[in-house]
Amino acid sequence: MNFSPFHFKKFSVFQEDVVHAVGTDGVLLGAWVDVDGASAILDVGTGTGLITLMLAQRTGTEVHITAIDVHPGSVACAQQNFRNSPWYDRLSVQEAPVQQFALESGAHFDLIVSNPPYFSETTLSPDSERGLGRSINNLSINDLLVSVLKMLSPTGKCCFILPEKEGKRLCEMAVPLGLYCTHEVQVRARAGKPVERLLLQLAREPGRFQRSQLQLHGDGGGYSEAFLAITAPFYL
């Protein structure tokens, strides 16, 4: 699919031949994750490369970010977006499923981020290419977690954004594998509305659990002050 370019303050995202255009989920994850102490970062299912570019903006010149995706068009698009960015020399992208990458790369990362698949077999996207990027038939929660564990450094953390039901399931499945949720943000469109997404941070050590709320829109219909604050470094 071809979408119009999306322009941010310090970079632009072109979207030719991608499965998914720039969306709020990716922006939220890229703006929210804690990048402190991370020198090697992995973006699983990078798509346009949006989250990688946001993390590059937020980190120093010593930080290298690797992106992977299974969709050839998205990989080519991300590669173009990286080349056009101010941080091209510390960004790389590969076409590979995370399961294969985890087995073959031998790499370890201080931070792993993903806006992962969440359509189940009964809620598949009607568009076959969008289904490729959103179906757990291509990447199950268990496969994602096992792969992340292979690559996560001892003190590293992994961060995801998922619908509430799938996010809770991921956290439950992570515990027997030795990953524990340390921070959860419940994302709502407006006050009084159901939780639509969970921003999740997991680590090898349980640590102190933190839960917070994020409301995207204010009472007047525009974006909330909290959303504007977290995205201010990026949106024009």
Report whether 48 contacts 70 (CB < 8 A).
no
Residue 20: what pLDDT? 81
CB-count burial class (<10 Å; 0-12, 13-18, 19+) for 90: middle
Entry field: residues in the chain: 236
Side chain identity at 190, as an amino acid letter?
R
Residue 117: what pLDDT? 67
Structure letter (DSSP) for residue 207: -
Helices (H) and strands (E) in the chain, counts: 8, 10
**CA atoms within a 13 Å half-sphere pointing along the CA-CB vector of 113:** 31
Distance CA 236, CA 22 (A): 14
- Tell me the H-state helices in the chain: 24-32, 50-58, 72-83, 98-104, 128-134, 141-151, 164-174, 225-231
Distance CA 52, CA 161 (A): 15
Neighbouring C-beta atoms of residue 154, cutoff 10 Å: 9
Distance CA 211, CA 119 (A): 25
Q: How far apart are the first and last CA of the chain?
A: 25
The backbone torsions φ and ψ at residue 91, rounded to the nearest 5 degrees and listed phi first, read -120, 140
- Residue 56, H or E segment: helix 50-58
Radius of gyration of the chain (CA): 17
pLDDT tens-digit profile, the chain (236 residues): 678 899 999 999 999 888 888 999 999 999 999 999 999 999 999 999 999 999 999 999 999 999 999 999 999 999 999 999 999 999 999 999 999 999 999 999 999 999 986 643 333 344 444 444 444 456 799 999 999 999 999 999 999 999 999 999 999 999 999 999 999 999 999 999 999 999 999 999 998 899 999 999 998 889 999 999 999 999 98
Report whether 28 contacts 52 (CB < 8 A).
no
CATH topology of domain 12-231: Rossmann fold (3.40.50)
